[in-house]
Amino acid sequence: MKDIGRPSARQLLIAAAVLVLLTGGATVPGLFSFDNITQMLRQISVTGIIALGVTFVVIAGRLDLTVGSLLSLCAVVAITLHDEISPVAAVTVPIIIGLVVGCINGFLVAILRLNSLIATLGMLSVLQAVALVWTSGQNALIDRPEATWFAVIGRGYLLDVPIPVLIFLLLAALTAILLGMTRFGREVFSVGGNEIASRFSSIAARQVLFTCYMISGTLTGMAAIVFSSRVMAAQNNSGSGLELQVLSAVILGGTSLAGGDGGIGRTIIGVVLLGFIQNALLLIGLPYYVQWLVSWVVIIGVVWADVASRRGRVLA
Amino acid sequence: MESVRYLARNPVWLLGLGLFIFFSVTTSHFLTAYNLSNVLFQCALVGLLATGLTPVIISGNIDLSVGAVVGLSSCLVIGMQEQIGLAGAIAVALGSGLCLGLLNGLAVERLGVSSFIITLAGMIGTRGLAFLYAGDTSLSAIDEQLYDLTMLHVGPVTLIPFIFLTAVLCFQWMLRRTVHGRNTYAIGGSRSASTNAGIPVSRHVVINFIICGLMAAICGVAMAANLGAATPSYGKDYELWAVIAVVLGGTRLRGGKGDLIGTFAAVLALAILRNGLNMLHVAPFYIPGIMGLALIAALVLDRQLNRASKTAE
């Protein structure tokens, strides 16, 4: 198949990213301090949890752009329900909302067979509207953040490790098992690799796709709980643009946008690398929008490397 | 008979007409000359984007960065005026759109990466450029020269709607009557067949991206001119509106089919919808929701129509 000894584009990319990281560590003071690493990991855990779910959708050869506004919606719901009903509602309802939205996305893409990019782009603005209507355009916050156990999820520590990081690792382990060791996981790869062939192999491609979207939605609901518990407040556009960050992390890790190739481990690498790069940019003191320029270059570079390695030529 | 068949293929005209009648009956302020000219102006801004986007989609690509180009060009035209004068500033702003279109087109063709990814990343990056240029603030015009331009009349219509209408006609002519237009349809229909037929595919694709970037920049300049100010976040979500309009107008997302007349009707119908909802005092929160539902509906419609036409063939 592939000659051994010649590095794949993915390995080169990871090597390049590690090189960037080491240069960053050498030039940016404090980048690799224990405190900064824990803080950085805590920050990326929300993106990371969402990226785990999106990985399933991308491996199945589709996209889910709803995650950003779904996070906004679930976060404002969690925050408002916390004070109005109870903290228990704040940790259950968002997951249910995520699941329902995942089902709607699954219905649009898997059952109606719509273009996943445009369909989830449409859902993105629908969810944005729902979040706005839910809050009447206001921002939501929890009145007494110090007096509730809800704060533990996002702010707590266990043995010096932030709880969000532990949640991220736990979910990563679960999704890695689901994707790597179960029949469903293999079916996801086969649907993404060649949908028609998978159908001829009597795989229920529609159900597999539908389930991928359900996983993505549910994990986004969970991420929203971690997010709102950390911030103890939510704007109705908290997650705006997050879908692109998540997507860049997933493809930076080396999951192919063409579908059929990827993994949870790769996504974790992508999320951590992206987190370090953004963190380093902030530590240098560059304004936040410089990150966008970096994302521009990184996303195109990564996808290019992916496409080029598969076609065996650098240029089209 | 021909016109009946045309309407059946392009139900967006009926949609627009229905909305027009509905809002004329239900609200008292809709059917006034003042409001209708307002509708025409509102549809001109998104219309400029949708006009530029239509050939790109017909050739089987997509450009999601147009909204961000609006932000960048509007900032450039306001910010540059002090240093290099109005004409220079407009030239720089339009040039920025042209260059970004060229960059997108070349990236799609030379790197062989799907236009969706290139322009999605371009959307973030271009927005970053706009913020980099303007900082986190809004810019205001030093004088009213630019604003005065928008007050020019061509017959009964002001300059910006006039540019939009002219662009629609020119683009329709380009698609239907020129080699470039014919090849655009061919490439969208089957890229490999076009390559085999000796059509310079890359050149046509890049040209369409350049035109699209230029139209987005014109939209940005028009927006800045109208408000006499610009912020780097201008044009946010406009790419959504433009894609909705193009798809609703009957252009096939996979390429190879569509025209400017359909896009024009869809832009008009969407502007009527938005304006009418305002007249009915629907809270602005609902607007993105209605927009999203319209997009999904357009997508279902796109699939149904294309399936119908496939069985008819």
The structure's pTM equals 0.85
Question: What are the residues of chain B with a beta carbon less than 8 Å away from any beta carbon of chain A?
Answer: 107, 109-114, 116-118, 120-122, 124-129, 131-132, 136, 237, 240, 243, 247, 253, 283, 285-296, 299-300, 303
Residue at A10 is within a domain: no
Quickly list DSSP for B33-67.
HHHHHHHHHHHHHHHHHHHHHHHHHHTT-----HH
CA B219 to chain centre: 8
For residues A214-227, average pLDDT = 93
Measured between alpha carbons, how far is residue B170 from residues A254, B164, B176, B186 in Å? 44, 10, 10, 20
The C-alpha atoms of residue B130 and residue A33 are separated, in whole angstroms, by 34
Q: Compute, in degrees rounded to 10, the torsion defined by CA atoms A122, A125, A131, A132.
A: -140
The C-alpha atoms of residue B260 and residue B50 are separated, in whole angstroms, by 9
Q: Which segment of A55-64, A120-129, B2-11, B39-48 scores lowest on mean pLDDT?
A: B2-11
Q: How many CA atoms lie within 13 A of A255 on its CB side?
A: 35
User: What is the nearest CA distance from B35 to chain A, expressed in angstroms?
Assistant: 26
Is residue A234 within a helix (H) or strand (E), and if so which, with residue range? Answer: strand A233-234
Q: Which segment of A113-117, A172-176, A181-185 scores lowest on mean pLDDT?
A: A113-117
Please say whether the beta carbons of B127 and B63 come within 8 A: no
HEC states along B179-192? HHHHHHHHHHHCHH
Q: Is A310 on the interface with B (CB under 8 A)?
A: no
pLDDT at A10: 64
Q: Which domain holds residue A299?
A: 30-306
- Find, in chain B, the residue whose alpha carbon is nearest to that of A316: B112
Q: Which segment of A39-48, A292-301, B216-225 scores lowest on mean pLDDT?
A: A292-301
Close Cβ partners of B91 (under 8 Å, ≥ 6 residues apart): none
pLDDT tens digit at each of 313 positions of chain B:
567 666 666 677 878 888 888 888 888 777 787 888 888 888 899 999 999 999 999 999 999 899 999 999 999 999 888 888 888 989 999 999 999 999 999 999 988 888 888 898 898 899 999 999 988 888 887 777 778 777 777 777 788 889 999 999 999 999 999 999 999 999 999 889 999 999 999 999 999 999 999 999 999 999 998 888 889 888 887 888 898 889 888 888 888 888 898 899 999 988 888 888 888 888 778 888 887 888 888 778 777 776 655 544 3
User: What is the nearest CA distance from A254 to chain B, expressed in angstroms?
Assistant: 15
Residue at A259 is within a domain: yes
Q: Is A315 on the interface with B (CB under 8 A)?
A: yes
Is residue B102 within a helix (H) or strand (E), and if so which, with residue range? Answer: helix B66-106
CATH architecture for residues B2-312? Orthogonal Bundle (1.10)
Nearest CB among B109, B286, B299 relative to A316 is that of B109
pLDDT band at A1 (very low <50, low <70, confident <90, very high): very low
Q: Is A293 on the interface with B (CB under 8 A)?
A: yes
> What are the extents of the domains in chain B?
2-312
| CATH number for A97 | 1.10.3470
Q: Do B292 and A123 touch (CB under 8 A)?
A: yes
Measured between alpha carbons, how far is residue B38 from residues A104, B29, B157, B196, B279 in Å? 36, 12, 11, 48, 12
Residue at A21 is within a domain: no
Quickly list DSSP for A131-192.
HHHHHTT--EE-S-GGG-TTHHHHH-EETTEEHHHHHHHHHHHHHHHHHHHSHHHHHHHHHH
Please say whether the beta carbons of A179 and A60 come within 8 A: no
Q: What is the overall mean pLDDT for chain A? A: 83
Tens of pLDDT, residue by residue over A259-273, are 888 889 889 988 988
- The total number of structural domains in chain A stands at 1
User: What is the nearest CA distance from B264 to chain A, expressed in angstroms?
Assistant: 20
The C-alpha atoms of residue B165 and residue B268 are separated, in whole angstroms, by 11
Question: Which chain B residues are closer than 8 Å to A303 by Cβ?
Answer: 113-114, 117
The token pair that represents A193 in the structure block: 């690799």
